[in-house]
Chain A
Amino acid sequence: MSKAESKAGTLVPVQLWERLRKTVLALLLPVTLVWLWQLAGTDGAIAGGALPTPDRVWAAWMKWAFGTSTFGLNPYIGTWTQSLWFSAGRVVYGFAIAIAVGVPIGMIIGWSKLASAMIDPTIQWLRPVPITAWLPISIAIFGIRDFGAVFLITIGAFYPIVINTTQGTRDVDKNWIRAALMMGAGQRDVLTRVVLPAALPSIFTGLRIGLGIAWTAVIVSEMVAVKSGLGYVLWDAYYVGRMDIVIADMVSIGLMGFMSDLLIVSIEIWALRWRRLQSFDA
Chain B
Amino acid sequence: MISFSKVSKVYGGAQGVRALDHVDFNVAEGEFVALLGPSGCGKSTLLNLVAGFEKLSEGTMLFDGQAVSRPGPDRGVVFQEASLLPWLTVWDNVVFGPKVQGLMRNEYEPRAHEILKIVGLEAFHKALPVQLSGGMRQRVGIARALVMQPKALLMDEPFGALDAQTRLSMQQLLLEVWQRLKTTVLFVTHDIDEAILLADRVCVMTARPGRITKEIPIDLRRPRSIDDLTNSEFTHFKAQIMAEMRGAHDQH
Contacts and interface: CB of A to CB of B under 8 A. Distances in A.
Interface in A166-200: 173, 175-176, 178-186, 189, 193-194, 197-198
A117 interface: no
Contact of A179 (B85, B128, B132): B85
Contact of B87 (A183, A186, A274): A274
A179 to B, nearest CB: 5
A195 to B, nearest CB: 11
Interface in B146-183: 148
Interface residues of A, number: 25
Contacts of B86: 274-275
B100 A178 contact: no
B232 interface: no
A279 B131 contact: yes
Given A197-B87, A274-B128, A182 B73 contact: yes
A280 B53 contact: no
B61 interface: no
Given A173-B83, A179-B85, A279-B131, A186 B100 contact: yes
Interface stretch (B2-10, B35-43, B74-82, B187-195): B74-82
B133 interface: yes
A282 interface: yes
Interface residues of B, number: 29
B101 interface: yes
Contacts of A194: 85
A43 interface: no
A280 to B, nearest CB: 6
Main secondary structure of the interface of A (DSSP, over half): helix
B133 A178 contact: no
B133 A182 contact: no
Nearest to A178: B53
Contact of A185 (B84, B100, B130, B131): B100
Given A176-B83, A178-B53, A183 B96 contact: yes
Q: Which 3 A-B pairs have the closest CB atoms?
A: A183-B97, A175-B83, A184-B73
10 contacts: A178-B77, A179-B84, A180-B85, A180-B100, A184-B100, A184-B148, A193-B100, A274-B86, A274-B87, A277-B128
